[in-house]
Amino acid sequence: MTQTMEPQTTGPQQVADDWFAAFESALTAGDVDAAADLFATESYWRDLIAFSWNITTVEHPDGVRDLLEHTLGHTGPHGFATSEPPAEEGGVTTAWFTFETEVGRGQGLARLIEEDGRTKAWTFLTTLYELKGHEEPRRDRRPMGAEHGATKDRVTWLERRRAEDEGFGTTTQPYVLVVGGGQGGIALGARLRQLGVPSLVVDKHARPGDQWRGRYKSLCLHDPVWYDHLPYLKFPDNWPVFAPKDKIGDWLESYTKVMEVPYWSSTTATSAQYSAETGEWTVEVERDGTPLTLRPTHLVLATGMSGKPNVPVLPGQDVFRGEQHHSSAHPGPDAYSGKKCVVVGSNNSAFDICGALWEHGADVTMVQRSSTHIVKSDTLMEVGLGDLYSERAVAAGVTTEKADLIFASLPYRIMHTFQIPLYDKMREIDADFYRRLEQAGFQLDFGDDDSGLFMKYLRRGSGYYIDVGAADLVADGQVKLVQGQVDHLTEGSVVLADGTELEADLVVYATGYGSMNGWAADLISQEVADTVGKVWGLGSDTTKDPGPWEGEQRNMWKPTQQEALWFHGGNLHQSRHYSLYLALQLKARHEGIDTPVYNLAPVHHLS
């Protein structure tokens, strides 16, 4: 009997194994041309400090070749292997992998495709997650804690902590000073603490979390809980999906204590100056009104993803008899019952404030100056985030850490192509909601290319609203809506450029924030701010994100043109994820590990 042999097909495991074997062989041989040839004509390699000691993306085989020509000689990458069975869908093989370099251990995610009969990488993410010999004291490496037995002159845990706190600025100096004690500074402080880097977080507020407690009382998280965990310590399983601001404030305060973050509250940094000769900063601070001088080696500005409040300067502000303030200083609605309130702007803060004022019986008018992207929080949670950050994702084995890497593996150049279908679906689901808004005269947009919230956030950091409640008030006409630019104020009104006059007892400027660069100008100097250039944005050449293209968040979580100056911030997700890579960069420098930076961020001046 003749037996017919079925043709053999290559499964995703073999596809991935063969590609990684060829890639490692090329790297071991120092053949950068052969390694670059394993990448598709259109391809993207995103590296989070593993090869580049930077956060950078290179594009196409030429970019891969350039990266390897500059980094391969001192990186020593090896040991590439899949860490779980690869999967294939729609012609794309997705493979999780681990690897090592001379100094650390890494992990990544590759998407492999067929091109001209060969397997090639389409997207390739490499990340460093620990340094050899400097692993975090976690799990089987955790400290013993108790010191059993009798010891003369024993120093207790509390005494050590107090001595550390009291020693900074006198007997010791922090290697890293973090200015800003919100979620970004706290997350980074926790990472540095675990890595054993002498560090100090300073913040002007009286307690950790007061940055949240001090805002208008209707403020809450618009991102769901699964997206917002901090490093090491996740929210409890019964934590609300959208947490109120004071609950977040309490969590940040307790997190700071539990994670033993060295934290000085009621401390204002007043000036900073870097000496290239000594390789250290001189930072003047006032702690509880007492002046002190700190001399850290590295300075991190963790003052949020935004800079100083943008408060428009308008004719008539000096004669207006009512109250006026920026949204960041809004105390809440209680004092404005029965008052005529004008909120200038149509972003998250504007809607939150309008909604709260309406709830307390105020007569509220929103001034929309430009089109705004709105997405319902529950739709965003289900459609936009559900595959990565949700209970169903957790049930499918997608941990927070894994979700972060999946999100990070999408190069910014093509991320919008993944986002557009999601927001098309959201528009379809909530078509009636959007129809009512437009009928009310509200100007809607979904970003320059209809890619929605995340791209708008990454490109410009503003111009959107996540929720529905206050937007429904606008759609129903209960919060009045006008469009235009404010021309001037009178004693009792806001006057638009078209002559529309709005009576007002209160004017709230929900007009956003400047670049984080402004904090550097205030604390250090305008010269240093100019040297660093623009902070945030991708250079996408879309609205409020002028080119040239950089492909990463400008100057965030990575070396800048000013030696030993770093920027850290963003939402809770970014504070959690990118604090690891910033902390590892600082740890490597603290240990004297060579950190040659590939593709140092260029200067993009503010415009």
For 515-548, write each residue's pLDDT tens digit. 788 889 999 999 999 999 999 999 999 988 999 9
CB 413 within 8 A of CB 59: yes
Alpha carbon dihedral 174, 274, 596, 550, in 10-degree steps, equals: 110
Q: Is the pLDDT of residue 76 over 70?
A: yes
Beta bridge partners of 199: 176
What pLDDT band is residue 167 in, cutting at 50, 70 and 90? Answer: confident
The predicted pLDDT at position 606 comes to 57
The predicted pLDDT at position 306 comes to 62
The predicted pLDDT at position 308 comes to 78
Sheet strands (E) in 174-328: 176-179, 199-202, 263-264, 267-275, 280-287, 290-294, 298-301, 323-326
Q: Is the pLDDT of residue 5 over 80?
A: no
pLDDT: which is higher, 3 or 108 = 108
The predicted pLDDT at position 303 comes to 86
Query: CA angle, 442 as apex, 441 and 444 as ends, to 5°?
Result: 135
The predicted pLDDT at position 158 comes to 86
Instruction: Give residue-wise pLDDT tens across range 246-279.
Output: 999 999 999 999 999 999 999 999 999 999 999 9
Closest CA to 524 of 245, 326, 282, 175: 282
Q: Is the pLDDT of residue 309 over 50?
A: yes
Q: How far apart are CA 156 and CA 97, in angstroms?
A: 43
Average confidence (pLDDT) over 451-456: 92
Q: Give SS3 for 132.
A: coil
Instruction: Give residue-wise pLDDT tens across range 456-480.
Output: 999 987 767 777 678 899 999 999 9
| Mean confidence (pLDDT) of the chain | 93
Average confidence (pLDDT) over 160-165: 87
Chain centroid offset of residue 546 CA: 20
The predicted pLDDT at position 604 comes to 65
Q: Is the pLDDT of residue 9 over 70?
A: no
The predicted pLDDT at position 1 comes to 38
Predicted TM-score (pTM) of this structure: 0.94
The predicted pLDDT at position 56 comes to 98
The predicted pLDDT at position 307 comes to 66
The predicted pLDDT at position 148 comes to 76
Average confidence (pLDDT) over 3-11: 53
Instruction: Give residue-wise pLDDT tens across range 375-430.
Output: 998 899 999 999 999 999 999 999 999 999 999 999 999 999 999 999 999 999 99
What pLDDT band is residue 437 in, cutting at 50, 70 and 90? Answer: very high
Q: How far apart are CA 338 and CA 358, in angstroms?
A: 9
What pLDDT band is residue 166 in, cutting at 50, 70 and 90? Answer: confident
Q: Domains along the chain?
A: 12-131 (3.10.450.50), 160-307+516-590 (3.50.50.60), 323-509 (3.50.50.60)
